């Protein structure tokens, strides 16, 4: 049965009342009926051809979720979300097996282009058709796993990765093709019961990326995903799982954009990272989802759980994020420093303008001996936005010799915005050394005028000064991302002064 027909049939079976709507939208996309129920969870699982254990896992999460309430401790304010008024699954057209970018719907590629996502360009430049022997060492390769709404529509570089033994595929495929890995690691860092949004994600996640790097392998290229939210009222529930086995290394880039939509859209992703002995994962994010309009209408609600488990000794996890989008950001990429001598890093740039609300930071949980962590956070608030850094650093009783360095700097542009720093520090043993520095400053009129006197416009001046302010963090990003991020920062601050 063709997939569209199959979906129509299935939707008919599920809910007669919602059939009409379902049918209409099916012309363009393949969508679950509105609302959340065990039926929705089953629908998603079935769509994905999932094995029984996966459905069971989802259903348990769903039942758990029913007993939970939304967290309210963050400094963000938004109208109550009606979870029954959302779609939980939406796929662009029936999925074919795609081996190259050329087979992707040109309309989809056009959308990417409009969003300034160089997917096609990247693929072209980086070797969809590599000339043999034509290896420019300066042009690092990026493998792209594009997620259009909920389904991965393109996966490039599979072949080369395969040669290295690296598994990089949509998680929906990994569930079918590598069930032993998925079963072993899924939910092992962020348990299904972790928090309201993570639990919701566990029940209804649609797709995301799966990466496994075998022992001793240095992943031959940067792995990259672009997320995009397209459908109206579709919650986006990505699930990403990255495992770096002993002595391996991988750098993963995540980029996100969403087209302009009037209604707020919910996004609740979960990312789990696991590093074994001597392994390292570098995870970089540039997030520029729709922040809402100048009156604070619309925009993405971004409730994300990202956590890395430094399970092995001497392992390392590094989070770098550039957050410029979303109406609400609730996000704390964290590290559990379980292995002895393991280390965690968090480098963050969070920019808020207009009516955006950001509550972001990290948790560094020191469990192993001689573990170290480093937090560099740069918050920039402009317009009428609120920007909060919330961080937790703890050292367990057994985490002797734990070290942390935290530096939180906030920059205010204008006088209608707010920056807040909320650090929690807990050392349960006396050998831990925690250092914390925090500054808050206003962008100086004299500095702006200096730049303007040298020929820059007001906006260029703000962009330059802010890029200088965040330089320590930008340097942590891979080159391709750093350039993009720099542009993004200037764009997101447009209209913040004057």
Secondary structure of 307-341 as H, E, C letters: EEEECCCCCEEEEEEEECCCCEEEECCEEEECCCC
Verify binding: residue 468, another protein, rule CB under 8 A: yes
Nearer to another protein by Cβ, of 203 and 470: the residue is 470
| Integer Cα distance of 332 and 418 in angstroms | 19
Residue 439 within binding range of another protein, rule CB under 8 A = no
- Hey, which residues between 69 and 98 contact another protein (CB under 8 A)? none
- Candidates 193, 176, 325; CA nearest to 261 is 325
472 is a site residue for another protein (CB under 8 A):
yes
Q: Does 451 bind another protein (CB under 8 A)?
A: yes
CB of 445 to another protein, least distance (A): 7
- When asked if residue 134 is in the footprint of another protein (CB under 8 A), the reply is no
> Percent helix, strand, coil in the chain (nearest 5)?
30, 35, 35
Number of residues this chain uses to bind another protein (CB under 8 A):
23
453 near another protein (CB under 8 A): yes
**Strands, E assignment, 258-402:** 264-267, 270-275, 280-288, 299-310, 316-323, 328-331, 334-337, 343-352, 357-366, 372-381, 386-395
Span of 61-69, 297-305, 318-326, 454-462 interacting with another protein by CB under 8 A = 454-462
- What three-state secondary structure class fits 164? helix
Helix (H) or strand (E) holding 138: none
**Site for another protein contains 445 (CB under 8 A):** yes
Among 447, 478, 480, 490, binds another protein (CB under 8 A): 447
Interface with another protein (CB under 8 A), residue from 75, 191, 464, 478: 464
Q: Quick one: which of 232, 460, 479, 487 contacts another protein (CB under 8 A)?
A: 460
Contact of 266 with 235, CB cutoff 8 Å:
yes
- Choosing from 148, 330, 469, 481, the residue that interacts with another protein (CB under 8 A) is 469
Residue 437 is a binding residue for another protein (CB under 8 A): no
Q: How far apart are the first and last CA of the chain?
A: 60
Judged by CB under 8 A, the stretch of 224-232, 313-321, 329-337, 447-455 that binds another protein is: 447-455
Which of 49, 135, 433, 457 forms a contact with another protein (CB under 8 A)? 457
- Binding status of residue 444 toward another protein by CB under 8 A: yes
Q: How far apart are CA 123 and CA 492, in angstroms?
A: 27
Regarding 454 and contact with another protein (CB under 8 A), the answer is: yes
Residue among 297, 294, 283, 285 nearest 257 (CA): 285
In the complex, least distance from residue 458 CB atom to another protein, rounded to whole angstroms: 8
Decide if residue 428 touches another protein (CB under 8 A).
no
- For another protein, the closer CB: 124 or 479: 479
Task: Please report the beta strands in 164-279, taking only residues with DSSP state E, as ranges in sequence order.
Answer: 167-170, 209-213, 222-228, 239-244, 249-257, 264-267, 270-275
Report in angstroms how near the CB of residue 51 gets to another protein at its nearest: 51
Query: How many angstroms separate the CA atoms of 233 and 168, rounded?
Result: 29
Q: Quick one: 327 or 462, whose CB is closer to another protein?
A: 462
Helix (H) or strand (E) holding 37: none
Contact footprint for another protein (CB under 8 A): 444-447, 449-458, 460, 464-465, 467-472
């Amino acid at each position: 049965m063709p997939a569209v027909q199959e979906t129509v049939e299935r939707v008919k079976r599920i809910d007669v009342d919602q059939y009409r709507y379902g049918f209409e939208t099916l012309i363009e996309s393949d969508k679950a009926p509105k609302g959340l129920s065990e039926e929705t969870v089953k629908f998603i699982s079935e769509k994905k051809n999932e094995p029984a254990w996966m459905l069971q896992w989802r259903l348990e999460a769903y039942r758990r979720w029913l007993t939970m309430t939304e967290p309210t401790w963050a400094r963000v304010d938004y109208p109550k979300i009606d979870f029954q008024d959302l779609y939980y699954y939406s796929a662009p057209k029936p999925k074919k097996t795609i081996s190259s970018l050329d087979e992707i719907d040109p309309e989809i590629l056009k959308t990417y282009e409009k969003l300034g996502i160089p997917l096609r360009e990247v693929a072209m430049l980086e070797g969809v058709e590599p000339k043999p022997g034509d290896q420019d060492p300066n042009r690092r390769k990026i493998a792209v796993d594009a997620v259009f709404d909920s389904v991965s529509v393109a996966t490039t570089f599979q072949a080369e990765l395969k040669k290295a033994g690296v598994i990089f595929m949509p998680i929906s495929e990994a569930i079918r093709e590598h069930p032993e890995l998925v079963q072993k690691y899924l939910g092992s860092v962020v348990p299904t019961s972790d928090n309201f949004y993570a639990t919701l994600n566990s029940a209804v996640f649609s797709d995301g990326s799966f990466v496994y790097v075998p022992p001793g392998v240095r992943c031959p290229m940067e792995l990259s995903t672009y997320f995009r939210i397209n459908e109206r009222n579709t919650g986006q529930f990505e699930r990403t799982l990255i495992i770096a086995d002993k002595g391996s290394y991988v750098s993963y880039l995540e980029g996100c954009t969403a087209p302009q939509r009037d209604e707020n859209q919910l996004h609740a992703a979960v990312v789990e990272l696991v590093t074994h002995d001597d392994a390292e994962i570098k995870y970089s994010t540039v997030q520029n989802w729709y922040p809402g309009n100048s009156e604070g209408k619309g925009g993405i609600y971004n409730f994300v759980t990202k956590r890395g488990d430094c399970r092995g000794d001497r392992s390392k996890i590094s989070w770098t994020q550039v957050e410029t989008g979303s109406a609400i950001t609730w996000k704390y990429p964290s590290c559990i420093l379980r292995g002895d001598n393991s280390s965690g890093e968090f480098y963050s740039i969070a920019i808020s303008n207009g009516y955006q609300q950001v509550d972001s930071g990290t948790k560094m949980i020191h469990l192993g001996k001689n573990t170290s962590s480093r937090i560099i956070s740069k918050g920039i608030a402009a317009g009428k936005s609120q920007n909060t850094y919330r961080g937790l650093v703890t050292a367990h009783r057994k985490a002797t010799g734990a070290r942390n360095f935290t530096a939180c700097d906030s920059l205010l542009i204008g006088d209608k915005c707010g920056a807040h720093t909320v650090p929690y520090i807990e050392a349960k043993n006396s050998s831990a050394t925690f250092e914390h520095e925090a500054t808050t400053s206003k962008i100086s009129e004299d500095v702006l005028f200096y730049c303007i006197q040298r020929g820059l416009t007001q906006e260029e001046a703000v962009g330059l000064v802010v890029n200088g302010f965040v330089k320590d963090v930008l340097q942590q990003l891979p080159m391709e991302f750093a350039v993009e991020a720099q542009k993004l920062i200037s764009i997101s601050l447009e209209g913040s002064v004057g």
